[in-house]
Amino acid sequence: MLYQVIDILGTVAFAISGVLVAMEKKLDLFGVLIIAFVTSIGGGTLRDLLIGNTPVVWMRDLTYVTTIFITVVLAIIFVNQLKYLRRSLFLFDTIGIGLYTMLGVEKGLQAELLPVMCIALGTMTACFGGVIRDMLCNEIPIIFRRKEIYATTCILGGASYFLFVTFPIPEDYAYIAAIMVVIGLRLLAVKFDIRLPNIYSKEA
């Protein structure tokens, strides 16, 4: 039940981030819906294809499509209440990667993959939808921008889960704690302008 709730919350968070990017680019209603859709299901689709879980989950369960559609409608209606689009986009995107990282890790565990492969699967689940979103909106994907620590937080959060489960605490608590690690690290990285090392010269 916990995983289903987190899956739906992640779908909502990424759908909203997709709506915000699409509306910032002044796309029409169909464009907004498509961007929200691929942002929400892109990572999960890649994950399911890699582990052979086909047909992919959103094709077998209309809950995801319905959730995305309702989220898009509500986000458009209340877009004025999302006063600062960039800040709102950052918030929902951060929540989304936290939730989707651990969903990917969980799917990897169910497929009996090694921990390092589970972490990689979680990172792809969290990041790939955003990559598609940014490419369709003619932006350099956020995962590739030096000014943003993005995939790194997913990797560290996924790794933290395997550390937490070694403690004598319920597995659900370890799962939630790992989600908070992803979200917390990304918030801290942006607040304190923490970046990966620069590999270019100052003149570049």
- Return the minimum-mean-pLDDT range out of 36-45, 82-91, 123-132, 186-195: 82-91
Report pTM: 0.90
The amino acid present at 35, given as its one-letter code, is: I
Compute the radius of gyration of the chain from its Cα atoms. Answer: 17
195 three-class SS: coil
Whether pLDDT at 204 is above 60: no
CB 39 within 8 A of CB 141: no
For residue 91, what are its two tokens? Answer: 């918030």
Close Cβ partners of 190 (under 8 Å, ≥ 6 residues apart): 90, 148, 149
Query: If you average pLDDT over residues 187-195, what whole number do you get?
Result: 88
pLDDT in tens, 115-132: 999 999 999 999 999 999
CB 64 within 8 A of CB 48: no
CA–CA gap between residue 103 and residue 13 (Å, rounded): 14
H/E stretch holding 174 reads helix 171-191
pLDDT in tens, 151-169: 999 999 999 999 999 999 9
CA–CA gap between residue 193 and residue 190 (Å, rounded): 5
Per-residue pLDDT band at 84 (split at 50, 70, 90): low
